[in-house]
């Protein structure tokens, strides 16, 4: 499904009720730590900054943690500042050290493929037009030809080992039985070089990232100062957590990916729809461009009428439309309404319906497959006699239509489609694929 990126970007704006972009970022809970808050506030208000955020290709897709950074970048761009989207073709070959264990190094070919994939995803969230058009950069461009001797002579001399080993991830690994390799230990220097290079090439004076990257962000600030004597900024966004303290951005232990092939738009929509009342208002602040007045109204609705889940529905639609396009978001709404309400199955494309039914029982048969046999084969009932009772009691349906007589075929209610939704009561569902 084609995503109309231009239309999505054109509809976005910052909230004019705030005096500055800094105030809006603060209200949305996006400022956890920065090198000099007051200086940054002044610079964002009085200057046009060039800023960057880096994304390492450690997987074939970005996930929701990266989406926080992409939206942070977009908000700054809407305020008139110039974004640099960096994909780490060199840093991705090394990998930011994890606190627990050494990374498995991916092949150069794999990293190159992932660089292209991430670049195309990042480009959908930024505008490449106007006087503050975004620019994409790859740190492999300035690191590929740097020799080991040049690296040690020109850059390594600015770093002190004592400070490097105090970084949280490094300290955790040094204290473990496995320790840390010199390869991963050097990662923080590579990231610092990015800031220096972008400062020299493009006048970049602000780097953003998650607060768990703070040690690396400050390393870049220090390197720029030591080499050039210039003061630059860094800002860390908070790590998003759920109200119960668990890590946000995963469903059943799996990351929620931006790529539709790894997380379908329907599954993506359902993830947001299932946000807890205690979390949904904060999610609206971070992940949507709704105004303060709109979000405060949803906060009131959560407090007064939580059973309507109005905030969750708006959140799910807005973020799904942002990532997958408005058409995909509307299909997800229609599929959800058809499966869990009184929606029209015909309004849902078959591929979307198949995504929505993923994980539910499946039955395959031809045009002669009866509803009774489908109920048994799906496991929604245990026997033909139970299937007949369900029909007699009005508890069986196909595509939302109640079955009233025995011997009816599923195909009779599927129209010209090869997929039908079998129902047992209001909640039990199964997919029926027809030959």
Distance CA 102, CA 201 (A): 33
Q: What CA–CA distance (Å, rounded) separates 77 from 71?
A: 10
Residue 1 pLDDT > 70 = no
Lowest-pLDDT range of 96-100, 108-112, 280-284, 369-373: 96-100
- Predicted confidence (pLDDT) at residue 174 exceeds the cutoff of 90: no
Domains and their CATH numbers in the chain: 5-237 (3.40.50.620), 250-357 (1.10.240.10), 362-434 (3.10.290.10)
Q: Residue 283 pLDDT > 90, yes or no?
A: yes
Mean pLDDT, rounded, for 47-68: 96
pLDDT of 280 strictly over 90:
yes
Which tens digit of pLDDT belongs to each residue from 94-107? 988 888 888 888 99
For the residues 85-101, what does the mean pLDDT come to? 90
Number of H helices and E strands in the chain, helices first, is 21, 13
What's the pLDDT band for 414 if we cut at 50, 70, 90?
Answer: very high
What pLDDT does residue 292 have?
98
Sign of CA dihedral 73, 125, 328, 257: negative
Q: What is the pLDDT of residues 221-252, one digit of tens each?
A: 999 999 999 999 999 999 998 988 888 887 77
Residue 264 in tokens: 């379908």
The gap between the terminal CA atoms of the chain, to the nearest Å, is: 25
Is pLDDT above 90 for 163? no
Give Cα separations from 346 to 146, 366, 369 (angstroms).
59, 20, 21
Q: Give me the pLDDT at residue 92, please.
A: 94
Mean of pLDDT over the chain: 94
Compare 312 and 164 and report the one with higher pLDDT: 312
Residue 316: predicted pLDDT: 98
pLDDT digits (tens, 9 = 90+) for 308-347: 999 999 999 999 999 999 999 999 999 998 888 776 888 8
For the chain, percent of residues with pLDDT exceeding 70 = 99
Model confidence band, residue 428 (pLDDT cutoffs 50, 70, 90): very high
Residue 305 confidence (pLDDT): 97
Task: Place 270 in a pLDDT band, splitting at 50, 70 and 90.
Answer: very high
Q: For CA atoms 82, 87, 90, 96, give the dihedral sign.
A: positive
Mean pLDDT within 82-88 = 98
- In Å, how far are 81, 135, 162, 207, 360 from 130, measured between CA atoms? 11, 12, 45, 22, 48
In 151-260, alpha helices (H): 161-164, 168-174, 182-185, 187-202, 214-228
pLDDT number for residue 4: 92
Assign 46 to helix, strand or coil.
helix
């Amino acid at each position: 499904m084609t995503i109309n990126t231009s239309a999505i970007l054109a509809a976005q704006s910052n909230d004019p009720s705030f005096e500055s972009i800094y105030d809006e970022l603060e209200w949305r809970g996006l400022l956890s730590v920065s090198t000099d808050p007051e200086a940054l506030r002044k610079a964002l208000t009085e200057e046009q900054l060039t800023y960057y955020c880096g994304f390492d290709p450690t997987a074939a897709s970005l996930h929701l943690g990266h989406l926080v950074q992409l939206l942070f970048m977009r908000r700054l761009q809407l305020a008139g500042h110039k974004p640099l989207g960096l994909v780490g073709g060199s840093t991705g070959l090394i990998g930011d050290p994890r606190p627990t264990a050494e990374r498995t190094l991916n092949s150069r070919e794999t990293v190159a493929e992932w660089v292209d994939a991430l670049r195309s995803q990042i480009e959908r969230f930024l505008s490449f037009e106007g006087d503050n058009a975004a620019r994409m950069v790859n740190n492999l461009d300035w690191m590929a030809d740097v020799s080991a001797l040049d690296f040690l002579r020109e850059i390594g001399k600015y770093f002190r080992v004592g400070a490097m080993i105090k970084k949280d991830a490094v300290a955790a690994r040094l204290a473990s039985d496995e320790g840390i390799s010199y390869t991963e230990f050097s990662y923080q220097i590579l990231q610092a070089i990015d800031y220096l290079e972008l400062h020299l090439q493009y006048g970049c004076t602000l780097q953003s990232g998650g607060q768990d990257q703070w040690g690396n962000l400050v390393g870049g600030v220090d390197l720029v100062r030591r080499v050039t004597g210039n003061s630059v900024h860094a800002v860390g966004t908070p790590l998003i957590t759920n109200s119960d303290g668990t890590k946000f951005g995963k469903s059943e232990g799996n990351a929620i990916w931006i790529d539709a092939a790894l997380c379908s738009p329907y599954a993506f929509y359902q993830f947001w729809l299932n946000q807890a009342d205690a979390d949904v208002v904060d999610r609206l602040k971070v992940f949507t461009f709704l105004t303060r007045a709109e979000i405060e109204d949803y906060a009131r609705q959560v407090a007064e009428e939580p059973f309507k889940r109005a905030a969750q529905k708006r959140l799910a639609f807005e973020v799904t439309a942002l990532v997958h396009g408005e058409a995909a978001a509307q299909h997800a709404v229609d599929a959800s309404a058809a499966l869990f309400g009184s929606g029209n199955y015909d309004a849902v494309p078959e591929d979307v319906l198949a995504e929505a039914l993923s994980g539910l029982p499946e039955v395959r048969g031809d045009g002669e497959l009866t509803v009774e046999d489908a109920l048994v084969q799906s496991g929604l009932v245990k026997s033909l006699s139970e299937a007949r009772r369900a029909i007699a009691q009005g508890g069986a349906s196909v595509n939302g239509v109640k079955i009233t007589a025995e011997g009816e075929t599923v195909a009779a209610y599927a129209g010209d489609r090869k997929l039908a939704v079998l129902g047992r009561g209001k909640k039990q569902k199964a997919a029926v694929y027809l030959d």
